[in-house]
Amino acid sequence: MNKVAETASSSLFPTYARYPIALVKGDGSWLWDDQGNKYLDFMCGLAVTNLGHAPKQVKEALVKQLDELWHVSNLFHIPNQEAAAKLLTDNSHADAVFFCSTGAEANEAAIKLARRYHQKVKGNGRNEIITFAQSFHGRTLATLTATGQEKVKEGFGPLPEGFRYIPLHDYEALEAAITDKTAAIMIEMIQAEGGVIPVEPAFVQHLAKVCKERGILLIVDEIQTGMGRTGKLFGFQHYGIEPDIFTLAKGLGSGFPVGAMLAKGELREAFNAGSHGSTFGGTPIATAVVKATIEALLEEKAADRAAETGEYLMSQLREKLAGNPFVQEIRGKGLMIGIVCSGPVANIIAEGQKRGLLVVTAGPNVVRLLPSLLISRDEVDLGVSILTSIFADQTAPV
């Protein structure tokens, strides 16, 4: 494949502003394009390949399953699905799992479960979901409506009713938004797409307390922060809370498309037979990959490694970029790190590609780093060296 832009001659919708690179091979923390160029991957497919590219244990499980059974539908028992769900519940406070294909579908399921629980189980008619400015929850109609960014909603109206938005960390706005119709509050522990913004612990604690006192369900979107990315298996574990519902995707399948919605046992009744479904949710193939991914994450102590490596990476960035007037702040948790800049960073992304380093934005002024949780110290040092050289040439806002 030639690295050409999608034009009117392409058979694809032009929905992606693609980089002029066609990647064809991956191994660990490295990628190669169709021209033979090699790149150190600090993106991981947007926090997806947490174990690196083509991890051996997951590949073996996938190949084995491909030789046995691909799809049967959820009208039948799927042993892999039960095993993968048990791994998730054994390693969290959740009691029930619903498998789907994407993060947006997982968040859609969370919204539906919250509403149906209040309306069919509790009988109180609550249907509103509170979310936060700069949040990102997906691209389906419900999840883009839940998203606190107007740019994803343009041209898609009319949007579903039942969502309220408040600024992050605004206690007064939270109080004002809660009504007798509030079914749930939905939040990310780190607003990844919104600029790599960790939620303040005091606000998370307050939110959990308010939800418990008022019978409101707390939903945590762990699509990007889950599966060890932040230095804990799940991001909410940094805060000592147990959300009623949380969602996973991205790192759950090591690159295979899969998502999951997890919840406490008392919500199980709301999703009875026929109330929700997903044709490709929890197939034998998908859940073989999930099972192998979780097992590898646990065996490799990937979350602990992410915490340790992330601390080292942030300390190196703060040391090497100290005094650079273009760099305002370095923030994040584990191996989800944002370099907040005083101007647009698109040129930094492009220059990184030229020098063999793949990074991504989180909004126009933030460089987001999402390396493999198993990245080596030498690879971290190389990435920091490349970034340092790029930022040395970018000393003023553009």
Q: Which residues are annotated as a binding site?
A: 103-104, 136, 139, 221-224, 278-279
- 3-class SS of residue 40: strand
Closest CA to 219 of 227, 229, 211: 211
Q: Distances from the Cα of 282 to the Cαs of 78, 120, 222, 339, in angstroms? A: 8, 25, 18, 36
In terms of DSSP H, where are the helices of the chain? 44-47, 56-66, 79-90, 103-116, 141-146, 171-177, 201-214, 284-299, 302-320, 346-354, 377-392
Per the annotation, binding residues for N(2)-acetyl-L-ornithine are: 139, 278
Determine phi and psi for 209, rounding to 5 degrees: -65, -45
Rounded to whole angstroms, how far apart are CA atoms 367 and 383?
13
Sign of torsion over alpha carbons 168, 171, 176, 181? positive
Residue 164 in tokens = 């309220």
Rounded to whole angstroms, how far apart are CA atoms 93 and 221?
15
Whether cis (ω within 30° of 0) applies to the bond prior to 158 is: yes
What pairing do the DSSP bridges indicate for beta strands 38-41 and 357-358?
parallel
Concatenated DSSP letters for 341-354? ESS--HHHHHHHHH
